[in-house]
Structure 1
Protein backbone atom coordinates (compact mmCIF):
# COMPACT_ATOMS: atom_id res chain seq x y z
CA UNK A 1 0.00 0.00 0.00
CA UNK A 2 1.28 3.45 -0.87
CA UNK A 3 1.55 5.49 2.31
CA UNK A 4 1.36 9.28 2.64
CA UNK A 5 4.78 10.91 2.97
CA UNK A 6 5.24 13.08 6.04
CA UNK A 7 5.84 16.73 5.12
CA UNK A 8 8.49 19.01 6.57
CA UNK A 9 7.36 20.47 9.89
CA UNK A 10 5.73 17.27 11.15
CA UNK A 11 7.19 16.39 14.58
CA UNK A 12 7.92 12.73 13.69
CA UNK A 13 10.70 13.95 11.38
CA UNK A 14 12.59 15.34 14.39
CA UNK A 15 12.28 12.29 16.65
CA UNK A 16 15.18 10.01 17.41
CA UNK A 17 13.66 6.69 16.40
CA UNK A 18 13.56 3.51 18.48
CA UNK A 19 14.76 0.01 17.67
CA UNK A 20 12.31 -2.69 16.65
CA UNK A 21 12.34 -6.42 17.24
CA UNK A 22 10.93 -9.36 15.27
CA UNK A 23 7.60 -8.93 17.05
CA UNK A 24 7.00 -5.38 15.82
CA UNK A 25 3.36 -5.37 14.60
CA UNK A 26 3.06 -6.04 10.86
CA UNK A 27 6.78 -5.43 10.24
CA UNK A 28 6.76 -7.23 6.87
CA UNK A 29 3.81 -5.13 5.72
CA UNK A 30 5.47 -1.88 6.84
CA UNK A 31 8.64 -2.74 4.92
CA UNK A 32 6.66 -3.74 1.81
CA UNK A 33 4.64 -0.51 2.04
CA UNK A 34 7.85 1.52 2.38
CA UNK A 35 9.26 -0.07 -0.79
CA UNK A 36 6.02 0.56 -2.66
CA UNK A 37 5.84 4.17 -1.43
CA UNK A 38 9.49 4.82 -2.31
CA UNK A 39 9.08 3.57 -5.88
CA UNK A 40 5.74 5.33 -6.36
CA UNK A 41 7.30 8.66 -5.33
CA UNK A 42 10.40 8.07 -7.48
CA UNK A 43 12.63 8.02 -4.41
CA UNK A 44 15.89 6.14 -3.98
CA UNK A 45 15.39 5.71 -0.25
CA UNK A 46 12.75 6.22 2.41
CA UNK A 47 12.90 6.04 6.19
CA UNK A 48 10.14 4.99 8.56
CA UNK A 49 9.64 8.52 10.01
CA UNK A 50 8.75 9.65 6.49
CA UNK A 51 5.75 7.32 6.64
CA UNK A 52 4.89 8.42 10.19
CA UNK A 53 6.60 5.61 12.13
CA UNK A 54 9.28 6.60 14.68
CA UNK A 55 11.27 3.37 14.28
CA UNK A 56 14.80 2.67 13.03
CA UNK A 57 13.99 1.28 9.59
CA UNK A 58 14.93 2.53 6.15
CA UNK A 59 15.11 1.08 2.65
CA UNK A 60 17.28 2.17 -0.25
CA UNK A 61 17.71 1.26 -3.91
CA UNK A 62 20.83 2.78 -5.42
CA UNK A 63 20.85 0.24 -8.26
CA UNK A 64 18.42 2.52 -10.10
CA UNK A 65 20.86 5.45 -9.74
CA UNK A 66 23.78 3.43 -11.09
CA UNK A 67 21.67 2.16 -14.02
CA UNK A 68 20.97 5.81 -14.91
CA UNK A 69 24.63 6.89 -14.80
CA UNK A 70 25.88 8.85 -17.77
CA UNK A 71 29.48 8.70 -18.98
CA UNK A 72 30.63 11.42 -16.55
CA UNK A 73 29.04 9.63 -13.57
CA UNK A 74 30.72 6.35 -14.55
CA UNK A 75 34.10 8.12 -14.58
CA UNK A 76 33.45 9.70 -11.18
CA UNK A 77 32.10 6.49 -9.59
CA UNK A 78 33.78 3.66 -11.53
CA UNK A 79 33.30 1.03 -8.81
CA UNK A 80 29.71 1.93 -7.88
CA UNK A 81 27.46 -1.12 -8.05
CA UNK A 82 24.40 0.05 -6.17
CA UNK A 83 22.34 -1.95 -3.71
CA UNK A 84 18.72 -2.66 -2.89
CA UNK A 85 18.47 -3.25 0.85
CA UNK A 86 16.43 -2.93 4.03
CA UNK A 87 18.19 -1.58 7.13
CA UNK A 88 16.73 -2.18 10.60
CA UNK A 89 18.16 -0.82 13.88
CA UNK A 90 21.11 0.67 12.01
CA UNK A 91 24.01 2.31 13.82
CA UNK A 92 26.90 4.08 12.14
CA UNK A 93 30.20 2.57 13.26
CA UNK A 94 32.35 5.13 11.44
CA UNK A 95 32.52 7.51 8.53
CA UNK A 96 35.70 8.41 6.71
CA UNK A 97 37.08 9.83 3.52
CA UNK A 98 37.02 13.25 1.98
CA UNK A 99 33.63 14.97 2.29
CA UNK A 100 32.16 15.69 -1.14
CA UNK A 101 29.21 17.72 -2.31
CA UNK A 102 26.18 16.27 -4.07
CA UNK A 103 22.81 17.78 -4.84
CA UNK A 104 20.33 16.15 -2.44
CA UNK A 105 16.59 16.27 -2.20
CA UNK A 106 14.04 14.66 0.08
CA UNK A 107 10.50 13.32 -0.38
CA UNK A 108 9.48 15.12 2.84
CA UNK A 109 10.93 18.41 1.57
CA UNK A 110 9.76 18.45 -2.06
CA UNK A 111 10.96 20.96 -4.65
CA UNK A 112 14.09 21.83 -2.65
CA UNK A 113 17.49 20.51 -3.64
CA UNK A 114 20.83 21.62 -2.22
CA UNK A 115 24.47 20.58 -2.36
CA UNK A 116 25.34 18.73 0.83
CA UNK A 117 28.81 17.57 1.91
CA UNK A 118 29.07 14.05 3.29
CA UNK A 119 31.99 11.63 3.85
CA UNK A 120 32.64 9.19 1.01
CA UNK A 121 32.58 6.08 3.24
CA UNK A 122 30.27 4.76 5.97
CA UNK A 123 30.47 1.56 8.01
CA UNK A 124 27.10 0.47 9.33
CA UNK A 125 25.86 -2.17 11.79
CA UNK A 126 22.28 -3.27 11.21
CA UNK A 127 19.93 -6.20 10.89
CA UNK A 128 18.12 -7.06 7.68
CA UNK A 129 14.43 -7.93 7.32
CA UNK A 130 15.21 -11.46 8.59
CA UNK A 131 17.01 -10.03 11.64
CA UNK A 132 20.37 -11.31 10.43
CA UNK A 133 23.14 -9.05 11.80
CA UNK A 134 25.48 -7.26 9.38
CA UNK A 135 28.41 -4.87 9.56
CA UNK A 136 29.14 -3.50 6.11
CA UNK A 137 31.15 -0.77 4.40
CA UNK A 138 29.56 1.45 1.77
CA UNK A 139 31.10 4.04 -0.54
CA UNK A 140 30.14 6.73 -3.02
CA UNK A 141 26.50 7.31 -3.94
CA UNK A 142 25.33 4.36 -1.84
CA UNK A 143 27.13 5.72 1.25
CA UNK A 144 25.51 9.11 0.65
CA UNK A 145 21.98 7.70 0.37
CA UNK A 146 22.54 5.60 3.49
CA UNK A 147 23.73 8.65 5.44
CA UNK A 148 20.73 10.68 4.24
CA UNK A 149 18.24 8.01 5.31
CA UNK A 150 20.15 7.32 8.53
CA UNK A 151 19.80 10.99 9.42
CA UNK A 152 16.02 10.54 9.25
CA UNK A 153 16.05 7.85 11.94
CA UNK A 154 18.13 10.19 14.11
CA UNK A 155 15.69 13.10 13.63
CA UNK A 156 17.90 15.06 11.20
CA UNK A 157 17.17 16.45 7.74
CA UNK A 158 19.53 17.30 4.89
CA UNK A 159 18.73 21.00 5.28
CA UNK A 160 20.30 20.87 8.77
CA UNK A 161 23.69 20.82 7.03
CA UNK A 162 23.08 24.13 5.26
CA UNK A 163 24.67 27.37 6.45
CA UNK A 164 22.31 29.70 8.40
CA UNK A 165 22.00 32.20 5.53
CA UNK A 166 20.95 29.49 3.08
CA UNK A 167 18.36 28.20 5.57
CA UNK A 168 16.93 31.72 5.94
CA UNK A 169 16.65 31.99 2.16
CA UNK A 170 14.64 28.74 2.12
CA UNK A 171 12.32 29.77 4.98
CA UNK A 172 9.34 30.72 2.76
CA UNK A 173 9.60 27.53 0.69
CA UNK A 174 9.76 25.43 3.86
CA UNK A 175 6.70 27.22 5.28
CA UNK A 176 4.85 26.49 2.04
CA UNK A 177 5.65 22.78 2.38
CA UNK A 178 4.38 22.80 5.97
CA UNK A 179 1.12 24.39 4.81
CA UNK A 180 0.67 21.99 1.88
CA UNK A 181 1.21 24.69 -0.74
CA UNK A 182 3.61 22.56 -2.79
CA UNK A 183 2.21 20.26 -5.46
CA UNK A 184 3.57 16.74 -5.65
CA UNK A 185 2.37 13.55 -7.32
CA UNK A 186 1.95 11.75 -4.00
CA UNK A 187 -0.05 12.25 -0.83
CA UNK A 188 1.62 14.29 1.90
CA UNK A 189 0.83 14.09 5.61
CA UNK A 190 0.98 17.68 6.86
CA UNK A 191 1.89 18.79 10.37
CA UNK A 192 -1.04 19.52 12.66
Structure 2
Protein backbone atom coordinates (compact mmCIF):
# COMPACT_ATOMS: atom_id res chain seq x y z
CA UNK A 1 0.00 0.00 0.00
CA UNK A 2 2.89 2.28 -0.73
CA UNK A 3 2.43 4.75 -3.56
CA UNK A 4 4.50 4.18 -6.71
CA UNK A 5 3.60 6.91 -9.19
CA UNK A 6 5.89 5.37 -11.82
CA UNK A 7 3.58 2.32 -11.99
CA UNK A 8 0.44 4.44 -12.36
CA UNK A 9 -0.90 6.53 -15.23
CA UNK A 10 -1.55 9.70 -13.21
CA UNK A 11 -5.03 8.59 -12.26
CA UNK A 12 -5.14 11.15 -9.45
CA UNK A 13 -4.54 13.89 -12.04
CA UNK A 14 -7.55 12.85 -14.08
CA UNK A 15 -9.94 11.01 -11.73
CA UNK A 16 -10.09 13.49 -8.87
CA UNK A 17 -11.84 16.84 -8.87
CA UNK A 18 -10.12 19.99 -7.60
CA UNK A 19 -11.86 22.94 -6.01
CA UNK A 20 -10.09 26.28 -6.33
CA UNK A 21 -8.94 27.37 -2.90
CA UNK A 22 -5.98 27.10 -0.57
CA UNK A 23 -4.96 23.66 -1.94
CA UNK A 24 -5.65 24.10 -5.65
CA UNK A 25 -5.21 27.08 -7.94
CA UNK A 26 -8.10 26.05 -10.20
CA UNK A 27 -11.34 24.14 -10.43
CA UNK A 28 -11.05 20.81 -12.24
CA UNK A 29 -13.88 18.31 -12.64
CA UNK A 30 -13.33 14.58 -12.18
CA UNK A 31 -12.64 12.82 -15.46
CA UNK A 32 -10.75 15.74 -16.98
CA UNK A 33 -6.97 15.68 -17.02
CA UNK A 34 -5.27 18.39 -15.01
CA UNK A 35 -3.89 21.08 -17.33
CA UNK A 36 -0.51 20.60 -15.63
CA UNK A 37 -0.29 16.98 -16.71
CA UNK A 38 2.44 16.65 -19.34
CA UNK A 39 0.67 15.63 -22.57
CA UNK A 40 3.56 13.32 -23.59
CA UNK A 41 4.11 11.56 -20.27
CA UNK A 42 2.19 10.54 -17.20
CA UNK A 43 3.85 13.17 -15.05
CA UNK A 44 3.23 16.65 -13.72
CA UNK A 45 4.81 19.41 -15.79
CA UNK A 46 5.07 21.66 -12.70
CA UNK A 47 5.93 19.01 -10.10
CA UNK A 48 8.97 20.87 -8.76
CA UNK A 49 6.92 24.05 -8.34
CA UNK A 50 3.59 22.71 -7.07
CA UNK A 51 3.52 24.78 -3.88
CA UNK A 52 4.55 27.97 -5.64
CA UNK A 53 1.92 27.38 -8.33
CA UNK A 54 -0.85 26.90 -5.74
CA UNK A 55 -1.16 23.10 -5.78
CA UNK A 56 -0.33 22.09 -2.21
CA UNK A 57 -3.22 19.60 -2.40
CA UNK A 58 -1.15 17.59 -4.86
CA UNK A 59 1.78 17.57 -2.45
CA UNK A 60 -0.45 16.36 0.41
CA UNK A 61 -2.23 13.65 -1.60
CA UNK A 62 -1.33 9.98 -1.16
CA UNK A 63 -3.40 7.30 -2.85
CA UNK A 64 -1.75 4.62 -0.68
CA UNK A 65 -0.98 2.60 -3.80
CA UNK A 66 -4.51 2.58 -5.21
CA UNK A 67 -3.31 4.16 -8.46
CA UNK A 68 -0.75 1.55 -9.39
CA UNK A 69 -3.02 -1.21 -8.05
CA UNK A 70 -5.71 0.01 -10.45
CA UNK A 71 -3.42 0.34 -13.47
CA UNK A 72 -1.15 -2.65 -12.94
CA UNK A 73 -3.30 -5.03 -10.90
CA UNK A 74 -6.81 -4.57 -12.23
CA UNK A 75 -6.09 -3.32 -15.76
CA UNK A 76 -2.83 -5.20 -16.45
CA UNK A 77 -0.82 -2.08 -17.27
CA UNK A 78 -3.38 -0.57 -19.63
CA UNK A 79 -3.65 3.20 -19.39
CA UNK A 80 -6.52 5.62 -19.92
CA UNK A 81 -4.78 7.63 -22.64
CA UNK A 82 -4.28 4.64 -24.90
CA UNK A 83 -7.74 3.33 -24.05
CA UNK A 84 -9.91 6.36 -23.16
CA UNK A 85 -13.02 4.19 -23.22
CA UNK A 86 -11.71 2.56 -20.00
CA UNK A 87 -11.42 5.84 -18.09
CA UNK A 88 -14.87 5.71 -16.40
CA UNK A 89 -14.26 2.15 -15.18
CA UNK A 90 -10.68 2.96 -14.12
CA UNK A 91 -11.93 5.98 -12.16
CA UNK A 92 -14.47 3.85 -10.32
CA UNK A 93 -11.92 1.12 -9.54
CA UNK A 94 -9.50 3.81 -8.34
CA UNK A 95 -12.20 5.34 -6.10
CA UNK A 96 -13.03 1.98 -4.55
CA UNK A 97 -9.40 0.91 -4.15
CA UNK A 98 -8.65 4.23 -2.42
CA UNK A 99 -11.44 3.51 0.07
CA UNK A 100 -10.14 -0.02 0.55
CA UNK A 101 -6.51 1.06 0.97
CA UNK A 102 -7.47 3.83 3.41
CA UNK A 103 -9.48 1.34 5.46
CA UNK A 104 -6.65 -1.20 5.49
CA UNK A 105 -4.16 1.51 6.46
CA UNK A 106 -6.23 2.45 9.51
CA UNK A 107 -6.61 -1.22 10.47
CA UNK A 108 -2.84 -1.63 10.18
CA UNK A 109 -2.33 1.25 12.62
CA UNK A 110 -4.95 -0.12 14.99
CA UNK A 111 -3.05 -3.41 15.10
CA UNK A 112 -0.02 -1.51 16.43
CA UNK A 113 -2.00 -0.33 19.45
CA UNK A 114 -2.69 -2.30 22.62
CA UNK A 115 -5.98 -3.94 21.69
CA UNK A 116 -8.32 -5.87 23.93
CA UNK A 117 -9.52 -9.30 22.80
CA UNK A 118 -12.80 -7.93 21.42
CA UNK A 119 -11.02 -5.13 19.54
CA UNK A 120 -8.47 -7.56 18.07
CA UNK A 121 -11.31 -9.86 16.98
CA UNK A 122 -13.05 -6.91 15.35
CA UNK A 123 -9.90 -5.83 13.48
CA UNK A 124 -9.38 -9.38 12.19
CA UNK A 125 -13.02 -9.64 11.13
CA UNK A 126 -12.82 -6.32 9.25
CA UNK A 127 -9.56 -7.30 7.55
CA UNK A 128 -11.10 -10.61 6.49
CA UNK A 129 -13.92 -8.69 4.82
CA UNK A 130 -11.34 -6.75 2.83
CA UNK A 131 -9.33 -9.78 1.65
CA UNK A 132 -8.42 -9.61 -2.02
CA UNK A 133 -10.07 -12.35 -4.07
CA UNK A 134 -7.81 -15.11 -5.33
CA UNK A 135 -8.16 -13.83 -8.92
CA UNK A 136 -7.51 -10.22 -7.85
CA UNK A 137 -9.81 -7.24 -7.56
CA UNK A 138 -12.21 -6.33 -10.34
CA UNK A 139 -14.77 -3.59 -10.61
CA UNK A 140 -17.41 -6.18 -9.74
CA UNK A 141 -15.69 -7.48 -6.59
CA UNK A 142 -14.84 -3.96 -5.43
CA UNK A 143 -18.39 -2.78 -6.02
CA UNK A 144 -19.58 -5.76 -3.97
CA UNK A 145 -17.55 -4.46 -1.00
CA UNK A 146 -19.61 -1.31 -1.16
CA UNK A 147 -23.01 -2.79 -1.94
CA UNK A 148 -22.65 -5.74 0.45
CA UNK A 149 -21.85 -3.39 3.32
CA UNK A 150 -18.16 -4.12 4.06
CA UNK A 151 -17.35 -0.41 4.17
CA UNK A 152 -20.49 0.30 6.23
CA UNK A 153 -19.48 -2.36 8.76
CA UNK A 154 -16.00 -0.85 8.92
CA UNK A 155 -17.31 2.67 9.64
CA UNK A 156 -19.82 1.33 12.15
CA UNK A 157 -17.01 -0.52 13.98
CA UNK A 158 -14.56 2.39 14.24
CA UNK A 159 -16.14 3.89 17.40
CA UNK A 160 -15.10 0.70 19.25
CA UNK A 161 -11.54 1.99 19.00
CA UNK A 162 -12.16 5.58 20.08
CA UNK A 163 -10.97 4.90 23.62
CA UNK A 164 -7.52 4.07 22.23
CA UNK A 165 -7.19 7.56 20.82
CA UNK A 166 -8.04 9.04 24.20
CA UNK A 167 -5.43 6.85 25.96
CA UNK A 168 -1.94 8.42 26.15
CA UNK A 169 -0.31 4.97 26.56
CA UNK A 170 -2.04 3.63 23.44
CA UNK A 171 -1.01 6.70 21.44
CA UNK A 172 2.56 6.34 22.71
CA UNK A 173 2.59 2.71 21.57
CA UNK A 174 1.39 3.78 18.12
CA UNK A 175 4.01 6.52 17.85
CA UNK A 176 6.74 4.11 18.92
CA UNK A 177 5.66 1.57 16.30
CA UNK A 178 5.52 4.00 13.37
TM-score using structure 1 length: 0.27
Which structure shows the higher helix fraction? 2
Which structure shows the higher strand fraction? 1
Structure with larger RCO (C-alpha < 8 A, sep 6+): 1
Larger-Rg structure: 2
